A and B are shown apart, each in its own frame.
Chain A
Amino acid sequence: MSRRQLDGLDRDIVQWLSRDARISNRQIAAELGVTEGTVRARIKRMEEQRQIRITAVTNIDRFRDASLAYIWIEVERTHQVRAVARELAAIPELGFVGEMLGRSDLLAITMVRNNEHLAEFVHSRIGTIEGVRRTESTLGVNFVKHDYRMARIVK
């Protein structure tokens, strides 16, 4: 991993943006005692280098009362992990796909309506991917915390 880390001023700017990303550059500049140009340049650089992403977070595409499901996936042969991971990443319903060490080869996270929906999704969309040996799914019953201000920015 090699992404450039944020410095003190970057973090101060991000702190303001984390509260409300619609705040103006002028207002951030005034709060931090720097010029508006500095704020603008910093935000541009952080976005270009994918250190931050300013975006609308919404639940309009989600089912109401949906549950989070963790799907652990084991592949037939270790060399197939990458290919299976790529196929998983292309499934729009999956919000997280990671190659893992330890409990299984891959972890995929999605939102489902219920256990039946989860079983159907795993069976039809994941079990059919070439190289998938077995899956183990866990259905969430109570979503206690998710800090959406923190993520691995992939694209």
Chain B
Amino acid sequence: MSTAAAVEAHPQLDEVDHRIIALLREDGRMPFRAIARELGVTETTVRARVRRLEDSNTMRVVAVTDIEAAGYNMLLAVGVQVENRTPESVARDMAEIPEVFSVNVVVGTHDIEALVVAEDQGALHTLLSERLAGLPGVRRLTPSLAVDVLKNQADWVPL
């Protein structure tokens, strides 16, 4: 997305905000002092700006853990068909399960699309055939295994 469009979408952000965000995307642990030096503003300004960006839900600085380093060796996309219940309520139940890290109600062949992780085949089987298939309203699960993930940006979701 062009900078012009980004500015239009967030008119309250100025050049300093955008540059702080850019630096923290590169290195989320960059000291306030170093950011201030880089941008030619005071450390107090940087602190205040970061706090405002966080408080307004515009930005959050987080540690993203690699799913494999976290012990999960399998990543799957799971399509869910729902019956006798609203997709939203089934999706909310699914969202309670930590291994289900993304849940989206959709229109199409399936009612819900989810991304799930599992430690190994045994754990995957339990997750799919017991924990997910056992949820009220779940009619059919259509899983698809990711054999290689070429791209997975941490910051592609709405906050």
Where the two chains meet, the residues of A that have a C-beta atom closer than 8 Å to any C-beta of B are 1, 3-6, 14, 17-18, 20-22, 43, 46, 49-64, 66, 68, 70, 85-86, 88-89, 94-104, 107, 109-111, 136-154
Note all chain B residues with C-beta closer than 8 A to A50: 66, 69
Name the distance in Å between A42's Cβ and chain B's nearest Cβ: 12
Q: Report whether B151 and A57 are in contact in the complex, using a CB–CB cutoff of 8 Å.
A: no
A54, B143: Cα distance in complex, Å: 30
Note all chain B residues with C-beta closer than 8 A to A150: 64-65, 67, 70, 101, 117
**Of B26, B69, B117, B148, which contacts A4 at CB under 8 A?**
B69
Number of interface residues of B (CB under 8 A): 70
Note all chain B residues with C-beta closer than 8 A to A53: 28, 63-64, 66, 154
Note all chain B residues with C-beta closer than 8 A to A4: 69
A20, B154: Cα distance in complex, Å: 16
Q: Does B40 contact A (CB under 8 A)?
A: no
Name the distance in Å between A118's Cβ and chain B's nearest Cβ: 11
Note all chain B residues with C-beta closer than 8 A to A144: 88, 91-92, 94-95, 103-105
Supposing A138-B107, A140-B113 touch, asked if A151 and B9 sit within 8 A by C-beta, the answer is: no
A18, B61: Cα distance in complex, Å: 8
Q: Does B133 contact A (CB under 8 A)?
A: no
Name the distance in Å between B104's Cβ and chain A's nearest Cβ: 4
Q: Report whether A96 and B58 are in contact in the complex, using a CB–CB cutoff of 8 Å.
A: no
Q: Does B118 contact A (CB under 8 A)?
A: no
Q: Report whether A146 and B106 are in contact in the complex, using a CB–CB cutoff of 8 Å.
A: no
Give 17 pairs: A residue, B residue, CB < 8 Å, sorted on A: A5-B68, A52-B69, A54-B29, A55-B25, A56-B21, A60-B18, A98-B75, A111-B156, A111-B158, A136-B109, A143-B158, A144-B95, A145-B101, A148-B154, A150-B101, A152-B75, A152-B152
